[in-house]
Amino acid sequence: MRFNNQSYLNLSRKWKPVGGLKSQADQPVKVMDHFQYAIFCLLALMRFGDKLDEDQIKKIEAIQRKILLRLGEVNVLNLFPVLSKIIFRKQWKELLQLRQDQENILIPLIKARIEAKGLGSESVAYVDSLVDLQLTDEKRKLNMGEIVSICAEFFNAGTDTTATELQWIMANLVKFPEIQEKVYQEIYQLVGGNQLGGILNEEDMQKLPYLKAVVLEALRRHPPGHFLLPHSVSEDTEFKGYVIPKNANVNVMVAELGWDPNVWGNPMEFKPERFLNSSNDHDHDEFDITGSREIKMMTFGAGRRICPGYALALLHLEYFVVNFVWCFKWKHVNGDTSSIDLSEKQKFIVVMKNPLQACIFPTVQST
Ligand code: HEM
């Protein structure tokens, strides 16, 4: 897609401040908490098939976060569980209490879903498939504890990764307003004035290659995980002259792979255009994020242990970005692009060292 400067100027957006009050709109919003909450609500809806109220969401979020923060401790205690249960009795008690709290919150939601399904609810939820799942080798279904753990994993693996990536994308769109404007113009050229202020849907997103390129570029330049989960080889393996012994821990430097100058020109530059018509394979128009044809980046891993939520994450990222840009103009604080600092900080995943703050204005379309 080409963006012609003339039409870009003609269509240039007008905007009005949030709530119609300039003073309010001038107040920068720290967006990350809102992103996290939105993604969490969406995942909860997918899981339980029903909208949960704010109180329930906050309770699940709080317990999940407490458990996530102590995950390292769980791994250490599990190295020698028999011994650690004696020596670290207090820690074990606290961790078991956290698990109990998690079950107390999630089990009633799972049971409510089973009941709703029994009463003929037509919606489809993730919990339904877990309840129906038959473990063929063991000739049994999942028990309640296992369903709780799998639901919890879905929250842990899907919330912070997607919300963090969303923050990286929006930070780049605020830092580089010309890229934000290109996303807007692409949407405008697709839907014109017909859908002003309306929400764009999944079908619209399939026709927006520049939007997809922005999301891919962010996943390349700012992968939330700089490593994969630990893997190991099941037998001694030789790779490029090195012997990797059986059971050795193996990982991949995900970020370095996406920043390799031999593969990507000016890799540290945020340049979505590199993903337009990026496929060399004429049978496939889209970039192969799964690495099944060629591995150029591995933000979601590759092969059989690839992130099972990658398609969902892409869908959510594209959905939020397209609607954020269509409905709002995102501006940096005090007109100063340097207020957007793209430095990284290693937490559980790699986050923005200085979280994004932006002034956000609902757009009013010029005709
Ligand atoms: C931008 C968003 C996301 C990124 C960058 C991401 C990335 C990853 C990566 C790199 C792995 C490890 C792959 C490996 O070790 O080979 C992984 C695993 C996993 N992801 Fe994601 N993920 C994202 C979103 C999601 C979502 C939305 C879900 C589900 C709702 C999800 C569920 C999982 C699960 C369950 C695993 C563990 C799979 C296993 O143990 O085999 N992820 N993800």
Q: pLDDT value at position 321?
A: 98
> Does any ligand 1 atom lie closer than 6 A to the CB of residue 102?
no
- The alpha carbon of 63 and the centre of ligand 1 are apart by a number of angstroms equal to 20
Question: Which residue lies with its CA nearest to atom 27 of ligand 1?
Answer: 158
Question: Which residue lies with its CA nearest to atom 17 of ligand 1?
Answer: 307
Q: Among the atoms of ligand 1, which is closest to the Cα of residue 313?
A: 27
- The alpha carbon of 154 and the centre of ligand 1 are apart by a number of angstroms equal to 9
Strand partners for 232: 249
Q: pLDDT value at position 2?
A: 29
- Domain-by-domain residue ranges, the chain? 9-32+159-367, 51-122+124-157
Question: Which residue lies with its CA nearest to atom 38 of ligand 1?
Answer: 307
> Does any ligand 1 atom lie closer than 6 A to the CB of residue 264?
no
Question: Which residue lies with its CA nearest to atom 1 of ligand 1?
Answer: 162
> Does any ligand 1 atom lie closer than 6 A to the CB of residue 308?
yes
Domain 9-32+159-367 has CATH 1.10.630.10: yes
- Could you tell me the CA-to-CA distances from 135 to 5, 131, 197, 363 in Å, in that order? 59, 11, 47, 51
Query: CB of 236 within 8 A of CB of 244?
Result: yes
Q: pLDDT value at position 8?
A: 31
Please report, in tens digits, the pLDDT of each residue of the chain (367 residues total).
223 333 333 334 554 444 443 445 568 899 999 999 999 999 999 999 878 888 999 999 999 989 988 888 887 888 888 888 888 889 889 999 999 999 999 999 999 999 998 888 888 899 999 999 999 999 999 999 999 999 999 899 999 999 999 999 999 999 999 999 999 999 999 988 766 667 888 998 999 999 999 999 999 999 999 999 989 999 999 999 999 999 999 999 999 999 999 999 999 999 999 999 755 455 556 799 999 999 999 999 999 999 999 999 999 999 999 999 999 999 988 777 777 999 999 988 999 999 999 999 988 644 4
Mutational pocket test of ligand 1: of 300, 348, 350, 351, the residue with most ligand atoms within 8 Å of the beta carbon: 300
Query: CB of 235 within 8 A of CB of 248?
Result: no
Question: Which residue lies with its CA nearest to atom 3 of ligand 1?
Answer: 161
Q: pLDDT value at position 20?
A: 40
Q: pLDDT value at position 1?
A: 29
Distance CA 19, CA 4 (A): 33
The token duo for 216 is: 């891919």
- The alpha carbon of 336 and the centre of ligand 1 are apart by a number of angstroms equal to 35
Q: Which helix (H) or strand (E) holds 116?
A: helix 89-118
Q: pLDDT value at position 208?
A: 96
- The alpha carbon of 158 and the centre of ligand 1 are apart by a number of angstroms equal to 7
Contacts of range 350-354, beta carbons closer than 8 Å, 24 or more positions apart: 350/164, 350/222, 350/223, 350/224, 350/225, 350/226, 350/255, 351/164, 351/167, 351/224, 352/32, 352/164, 352/167, 352/168, 352/171
Distance CA 39, CA 32 (A): 11
Q: 3-class DSSP state for residue 104?
A: helix
Q: At residue 330, what are phi and psi to the nearest 5 degrees?
A: -105, 120
> Does any ligand 1 atom lie closer than 6 A to the CB of residue 165?
yes
> Does any ligand 1 atom lie closer than 6 A to the CB of residue 167?
no
Distance CA 323, CA 345 (A): 28
What value of ipTM does the predicted structure carry?
0.99
Q: pLDDT value at position 238?
A: 95
Q: At residue 40, what are phi and psi to the nearest 5 degrees?
A: -60, -45
> Does any ligand 1 atom lie closer than 6 A to the CB of residue 131?
no
Distance CA 165, CA 170 (A): 9
> Does any ligand 1 atom lie closer than 6 A to the CB of residue 359?
no
> Does any ligand 1 atom lie closer than 6 A to the CB of residue 180?
no
Query: CB of 210 within 8 A of CB of 185?
Result: no
CA angle, 367 then 179 then 191, to 5°: 40
> Does any ligand 1 atom lie closer than 6 A to the CB of residue 258?
no
CA angle, 263 then 266 then 267, to 5°: 60
Q: pLDDT value at position 7?
A: 32
Q: Among the atoms of ligand 1, which is closest to the Cα of residue 153?
A: 35
Helix axes 54-69, 89-118, angle to 10 degrees: 140
Q: Which helix (H) or strand (E) holds 147?
A: helix 144-175
> Does any ligand 1 atom lie closer than 6 A to the CB of residue 224?
yes
Distance CA 335, CA 208 (A): 28
Q: pLDDT value at position 267?
A: 97
307 annotated as ligand-binding? yes
Tally of residues, the chain: 367
- Could you tell me the CA-to-CA distances from 347 to 161, 164, 326 in Å, in that order? 11, 11, 31
Helix, strand, coil percent values for the chain (each to nearest 5)? 55, 10, 35
